[in-house]
């Protein structure tokens, strides 16, 4: 019975290690896909942003930004209006972009998005939240000149595109990725929360032990080499 129990635990650990490797590959593939999708233009002149492209794209220039969700009825009704606005803004120095907040929730949290669609005007990393009518003439008036009469909605320190905002974005994104990977592991393995947490703890301890052995070995080799050199001198 003890042997069978150990074999079962060993099999579970092997499955967990394989899954973690697969998740790493999937995460790398997702990052590559985002990099390929970043900056593509969809629906006329509207630029589709991703979590990995938003900081670089909005770092310079003036942008009208919409956070949307594919399942949002208000967003679907606003799509043709936003496309027209993007087309008419062409050549004015203001560009229109959108980001799927339901897909990139960590980015939406950075901007304090509480519902869809949510509109912002970004000028040289200064972020202004738009809260007026979503009709075309109002959006055009705001994107053209109206935003200049409004103070930035965030101080430089707490701006979503500032240093602190970027750091918070990484933090939120890490939490989101950890939750997604944990859910994938639990679904694939069929383990309950207690068993899975024990397996993850064992894996963490094992990884830390391996790292400790490697580090101590390298340290011993370095100091032993120095000792031999000193002795020869």
Long-range CB pairs of 218-223 (<8 Å, 24+ gap) are none
Alpha-carbon 146 to chain mean position: 31
SS3 for 56-111 is HHCCCCEEEEEEECCCCHHHHHHHHHHHHHHHHHCCCCEEEEEEECCCCHHHHHHC
Q: Which of 75, 85, 122, 127 is catalytic?
A: 75
Residue in the block written with tokens 């905002």: 165
CA distance 80 to 73: 13
The question of whether 199 is a catalytic residue gets the answer: no
The question of whether 75 is a catalytic residue gets the answer: yes
Alpha-carbon 147 to chain mean position: 28
Residue 68, H or E segment: strand 62-68
Q: Which two tokens stand for residue 76?
A: 């679907």
Which residues are tagged catalytic? 72, 75
């Amino acid at each position: 019975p003890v042997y069978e129990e150990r074999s079962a635990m060993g099999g579970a650990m092997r499955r967990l290690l394989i899954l973690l490797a697969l998740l790493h590959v999937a995460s790398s593939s997702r990052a590559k896909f985002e990099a390929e999708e970043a900056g593509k233009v969809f629906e006329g002149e509207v630029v589709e942003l991703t979590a990995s492209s938003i900081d670089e794209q909005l770092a310079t220039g003036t942008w009208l930004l919409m956070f949307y969700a594919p399942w949002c009825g208000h967003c679907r009704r606003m799509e043709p209006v936003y496309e027209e606005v993007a087309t008419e803004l062409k050549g004015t120095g203001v560009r229109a972009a959108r980001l799927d907040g339901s897909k990139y929730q960590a980015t939406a949290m950075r901007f304090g998005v509480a519902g869809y669609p949510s509109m912002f005007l970004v000028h040289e990393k200064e972020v202004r939240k738009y809260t007026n009518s979503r009709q075309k003439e109002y959006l055009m008036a705001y994107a053209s000149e109206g935003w200049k009469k409004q103070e930035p909605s965030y101080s430089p320190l707490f701006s979503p595109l500032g240093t602190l905002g970027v750091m918070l974005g990484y933090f939120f994104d890490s939490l989101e990725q950890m939750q997604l990977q944990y859910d994938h592991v639990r679904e694939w393995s069929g383990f309950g929360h207690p068993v899975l947490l024990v397996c993850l703890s064992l894996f963490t301890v094992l990884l830390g032990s391996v790292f400790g052995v490697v580090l101590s070995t390298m340290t011993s080799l370095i100091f032993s080499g120095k000792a031999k050199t000193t002795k020869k001198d």
